[in-house]
Amino acid sequence: MKHMAKAILVLLALLVSWCGSATRTFAAPIDYERDIKPLLKQRCASCHGALKQEADLRLDAGALVPPEIRSEILKRVASNDESERMPPEGPRLTAEQIAALREWIAADAPFPENEIVPTKPAEHWSFQPVKRPLLPTSKHEHPIDAFLFGQRDAPPRVTAEALLRRVHLDLIGLPPTIAEQDAFATEGKLLESIIDGLLARPEYGERWARHWLDVARYADSNGYERDAEKPFVWRYRDYVIEALNNDKPFDRFIVEQIAGDELPDASLETNIAAGFLRLGAWDDQPGDPATDRYDQLDDVVSTTSQAFLGLTIGCARCHDHKLEPLSTRDYYSLVAVFNPLQRPHSGITDLAVKVGETDVYAWRETSANAPATHILIRGSATRPGERVEPAVPAILVQQQPAFAPNGEKSTGRRLALAKWIADENNPLTARVIVNRVWQQHFGEGIVSTASDFGLMGARPTHPELLDWLAHWFMHDAQWSLKRLHRLMLTSRAWQAPKNAESVVRYRRLEVEAIRDSMLAVSGRLNPKRFGPSFRPAIPLAAIEANSDKEKIWTPSEEPEASRRSIYVFIKRGLIVPMFETLDIADANSSCQQRQVTTVAPQALTLFNGEFTQQQSRTLAERLRREAGDDVDRQISLAWRLALCREPSEVERTKLREFIERESLEACCRVVLNLNEFVYPE
Amino acid sequence: MHPTRRAMLQSIGGGFGTVVLAGLLEHAGLLNTAAAADARAGGNSLKPRQGHFPGKAKAVIQLCQNGGPSQMDLFDNKPELSKRSGQPHPEEVEVFQLGNKNVLMGTPFQFAKHGQCGMELSELIPHLAGVSDDLCLVRSMFTENNNHPFALNMLQTGKTFNGRPAMGSWIGYALGTENQDLPCYIVLRDPAGYNTSGKMVWSSGWLPAVYQGTEFSSSGTPVLHLNPARPVTPESQTRSRRFLQELNSIHLEQHSGESELEARIQNFELAARMQLTATQVLDLKSETESTRKLYGLNSPATAGYGTRCLMARRLVESGVRFVQVFPPLDPSFQPWDNHSNLKNDLRKICGYVDQPSAALITDLKQRGLLDDVIVMWTGEFGRLPITEGTDGRDHNRHAFSTLMAGGGFKAGHIHGATDEFGYKSVENRVSVPDLHATILHQLGIDHTKLTFTHSGRPERLTDPDVTGARVVEKLLA
């Protein structure tokens, strides 16, 4: 009876499928896009696709199906032998699907000429070794201009004043002083010498450290419920400033941050550097401690791979990456690198570690024996799968680096990883950092997704230029960021006016540079360097709903409150409103580029907020002090301080009228709010 | 006519700087009204304007339920799924994470029919069930990607990739806004932090920057610094602002077409107008006790999201074009993402969101506003009928449910259906671009005609040539 029913069902199915295919053949011929491509994608591509090529075969697009295996395909999909039937998993192809394939192949397997075929990951551009392309034939000597303009003329330069302001804001985040402007005008200084002078100043590190802190998801507190301060974390911030000012080679900078404690020449400084790994948020009272441990490791793995390699491996925590050739095995192999790390804490109190006499905010590794690391099934801490050993993502190497123990106190795993990342044969590292620096100078990266160089990331707009720069950076510049800055800023491309056609983009200053510029212009800037962060005043209205008084800090007093913005305390749970409104990076994860929003609350903050009003008054006092009572001289001074130029006659007339009618203070408030003030030429 | 002045206005870019300048000149008596109106027709003004035809609705409130609400546990009862719970799914199911068993999992929740329309809804959303006669439930939605950020992009911008303008920005671009004293597109999120993709979700992409979403705080003072921190007379404040704009306009002449500069100029004007009205519009203290209770402001579970829903009502009531409300960040920043512990976590987020969502609809209706306002309640995708781990559901792009209410959408109506298990939309399928086209239609916008030229291509929210988007007439009353 049972067999009989089954036979009838099979018969019915055949009948239906025959009717189906017959009808379709008759009414509508096989349509590749409708009938074949979705089938290939859904049933073949997971094993024979861009990410995986079993039997060295790809079947995820018509163009890739080798003609010689067509008959084999038909045989295998229709086979009754389970050991040879394709696809091996899931239900069999329906009779209709098989018929469609047969019909398509009978018609010589046509596909659209312009079919987009995803590249094989191993062939992805950023996974290829960095080779130095030949410089193109060009009328320009500067390599960047040679790549960008070839035989075409370079765009004109912006005015000397605009260039002076641009280079100051770019490199040190502060406008040129009157003395610097005068020296530039009278001594006819070359741009090169200005660049060198700025790179030698301590303010350079204070400006550029902030860019790196965005990538490093730096904050001064742990987030979550209590949002407690990270003890002595500011030493890491100071380390970055000093590393940049000393032009520490970037390869060394990498190794110190990932494995500063494991180095044979470990020092207090390199131990502080390793604080990089501990900058993330921390839940001091987690509901589920086992999961929390993996959350912390995830923060370390994700940040490290994004910051240095431009890879978004975090997605592979729960599943093989859908879009990148990164598996859960790759992910947990990296977890295994960091798994020996222990967080020093006592209950809910986060602790620093002593290195000599100094408190350092970093993890601790105490034994050469590593705990076992397992793949976690869909990321669940309670479902350990196969055990994994430390390794780097398989797609990037022919041979794994050796992960060997490092004496008795540490596993040496991080040091091995760091050396592999910082090796000049790593295809990603130099490309990624060169592109980050380019992005800051030009407003947009050669790769616009600065922390995603994977298959889903943007393609480089100028691949050869990027490779040339990466190769030059490692081999000629010996990983010197200062030499890289100098190279970029001496190009005509960077010195061009910012407009729709130029490579260099018009972009609003970051909130730190806006605030610091205001302080510099008003003359109130306190240049004190390093040490614990200060706490700016927060408008009462912003915290009136906040019942937890612990969260509200006592604002720092002057002159502490007028230090540079890099020293502002960043509390994950309560970002200073002026900083939040003006798009500070979200410190919950590595930030590849600040967003620039343009919304009305920003106008309110800068026009009505206490900070600008205070700076306006201070600036007015300064103008009276330095320019005397002559309104024309006051106007000139204000304009030169803020915009690095003399006002036009039209502007001067309007300014004079306004000051006479209103006040110098009111005028200063207007100056600090000008579009030109926050959007430098 | 003043040909020279008009020529001058056109020569400085024709963008909103022109409009501001026109305002200044008009104020100074330098420009006649016709020329000013001409200049105002520019493409990035906030002034209210007609769509392509008279629309039924004026405003939209998007209740953005990110994470992927589970349709078969909330809106789409599947008796066959319950019956065969524990048995294998007969087909291969597209999964996102590891750890899925191809085993059907019936809903642990009870469904019942509600309202005169007899809409079958889950026990987890009693309040929404209470307004079922006002709901248009679309059970046959589907989208294109199984991953949160991409599917959210799809929901917001009509495409899965980054960088395109959000629907709210398109609507502001098309219609401007009724209340000139507030931004056209306002975002209200949990003060604890950002949901998936942060500020990118309300970006104006390559549309003029003036149409991007503006965040208002739903905790404490919604907008800071409405008044100068130090005393300034109103006259002096106005003169300072005018003077700033005058100088900025001169600067803009050399930078025509820079949308951010234009938006920044406009924002100083808008900020000044906000000063007069924002406090009043956002003062929830003037609401009656019964209204506050309706939204659940008296209970810790519902107070946060309830406050945002109530603010949303006040904002659209005062003429804001588009308001986007986010759920609490609990259990996570993707609160509907029930990969595990579905039974408890889904109950939890429903406990936060159900009452205020329903209250918004009730309140709008009581005030006679529901005809004018489209309320959209949806996630970026749905969930699978099979088990993930022991007690969760994975992402599902093939089917999800969306609630629409007001704005001329059919009330007490169910559209479309999924297969017997709720895995795929099969009947009267509605794509995300279809839904966008339909919302635009109700606002008086022909989605095929709403274009913005970007990189030489006339772009559309719905990109109908590629997506085949069409207005779903069956959803409309």
Distance CA(A35)–CA(A408), nearest Å, equals 62
Q: What is the pLDDT of residues B332-354, one digit of tens each?
A: 889 999 998 999 999 999 999 99
8 Å CB contact between A171 and A519 = no
- Read off the pLDDT band of B30 (50, 70, 90): very low
Contacts with B258 from chain A: Cβ below 8 Å: 506, 679
Model ipTM value: 0.84
- Read off the pLDDT band of A677 (50, 70, 90): very high
Instruction: Dihedral sign for Cα B293, B296, B298, B303, please.
Output: negative
Q: Are B210 and A598 within 8 A, CB to CB? A: yes
Please name the residue that has the structure tokens 């969260």.
A551
8 Å CB contact between B321 and B55 = no
What local confidence, expressed as pLDDT, does residue A29 receive? 74
The answer for B187, left when phi > 0, alpha when psi is -120 to 50, beta otherwise, is beta
Lowest mean pLDDT among A630-639, B3-12, B92-101: B3-12
- Read off the pLDDT band of B188 (50, 70, 90): very high
Contacts with A654 from chain B: Cβ below 8 Å: 243, 246-247
CB-nearest to B92 from A90, A539, A662 is A90
CATH number, residue B401: 3.40.720.10
What local confidence, expressed as pLDDT, does residue A3 receive? 53
Q: What is the pLDDT of residues A434-466, one digit of tens each?
A: 999 999 999 999 999 999 999 888 899 999 999
The answer to whether position B273 is within a domain reads no
- Whether B448 and chain A come into contact, CB under 8 Å, resolves to no
Beta bridge pairs of residue A64: none
Domains: count for chain B: 1
Q: Fill in the DSSP letter of residue A557.
A: P
pLDDT (mean) for B84-101: 86
Give chain B's radius of gyration (CA, Å): 23
Distance CA(B40)–CA(B44), nearest Å, equals 9
Please name the residue that has the structure tokens 């402007």.
A181
Q: What is the pLDDT of residues A63-72, one digit of tens each?
A: 788 888 888 8
Q: Is the pLDDT of residue B28 over 60?
A: no
The answer to whether position B245 is within a domain reads no
Distance CA(A344)–CA(A359), nearest Å, equals 12
Q: Are B220 and A543 within 8 A, CB to CB? A: yes
Q: Are A675 and B250 within 8 A, CB to CB? A: no
Contacts with A651 from chain B: Cβ below 8 Å: 247, 250
Q: Is A137 exposed, middle or buried (0-12, 13-18, 19+ CB in 10 A)?
A: exposed
Residues 643-662 of A with CB under 8 A from B: 648, 650-651, 654, 658, 661-662
Per the prediction, chain B carries an average pLDDT of 89
Contacts with A317 from chain B: Cβ below 8 Å: none
The answer to whether position B73 is within a domain reads yes
Fill in the amino acid letter for A158.
V
Q: What is the pLDDT of residues A210-252, one digit of tens each?
A: 999 999 999 999 988 788 999 999 999 999 999 999 999 999 9
Q: Note the residue count of chain B.
A: 477
Q: What is the pLDDT of residues B7-17, one digit of tens each?
A: 333 333 333 33
Which chain A residue lies closest to B241 (C-alpha atoms)?
A670
Distance CA(B202)–CA(B325), nearest Å, equals 11
pLDDT (mean) for A484-491: 98
Contacts with A315 from chain B: Cβ below 8 Å: 147
Residues 211-240 of B with CB under 8 A from A: 212, 214-217, 219-221, 223-230, 232, 236, 239-240
What percent of chain A shows pLDDT beyond 70? 93
Two structure tokens written together for A262: 């494991």
Q: Note the residue count of chain A.
A: 681
Smallest CA–CA distance, residue A316 to chain B, in Å, is 9
- Read off the pLDDT band of A527 (50, 70, 90): very high
Q: Is the pLDDT of residue A322 over 90?
A: no
8 Å CB contact between B433 and B467 = yes
Range of B390's domain?
49-222+282-475
Which chain A residue lies closest to B198 (C-alpha atoms)?
A586
What local confidence, expressed as pLDDT, does residue A16 receive? 39
CB-nearest to A670 from B91, B216, B243 is B243
What local confidence, expressed as pLDDT, does residue B33 receive? 35
The answer to whether position B82 is within a domain reads yes
Distance CA(A565)–CA(A575), nearest Å, equals 13
Residues 593-622 of A with CB under 8 A from B: 595-605, 607-610, 613
- Whether A18 and chain B come into contact, CB under 8 Å, resolves to no
- Whether B329 and chain A come into contact, CB under 8 Å, resolves to no
